[in-house]
Amino acid sequence: MTKNKAKKKVGSSTIALNKKARHEYFVEEKFEAGLELQGWEVKAMRAGKANIADAYVFMRNGEAFLFAATITPLNVASTHVVCDPMRSRKLLLKRRELDRLTGQVEREGYTLVPLALYWSKSWVKIEIGLVKGKKSHDKRQDVKERDWKREKDRMMKHKNR
């Protein structure tokens, strides 16, 4: 008898997305980082109670921290643990990545923004983007391109009928 090693996924591995980031910034590069979490935070994330829409990443003393990400505690959380939903959480990156990101943020004017929060096996990972801000005319150009692509797809769909 052979065992089937492929496991079925019981749902989406995505916990939270930052849709606003792609509208506000040009994403130059993406990095995957682990998060240093407490037990109640992991339980709340399993219930889908995380929000990274207004969050950003800052560098302090050669380490990266996630700031302003909200993880709402469950109402059945333990009473002896003080739950702070807005606390800053340490990001787990390799030293080489940290040094490179520090240089880019301090010297070249980039910003670090969280793009997605997701499960990787049993670990919580965050995708952070090295970004530059868009001007308003860049945002309008993106909207025009998106509308043109949608219109083009409609025309091609009706042409094939």
Is 62 a residue whose pLDDT tops 70? yes
pLDDT grade for 94, boundaries at 50, 70 and 90:
very high
pTM higher than 0.85: no
- The CA distance from 124 to 84, in Å, is 18
CB 57 within 8 A of CB 113: yes
Is 76 a residue whose pLDDT tops 80? no
> Beta-strand (E) ranges in 4-153?
14-17, 25-35, 50-51, 56-60, 63-67, 70-71, 89-92, 111-120, 123-133
Dihedral sign (CA 132, 135, 138, 143): positive
At 11 the pLDDT is: 56
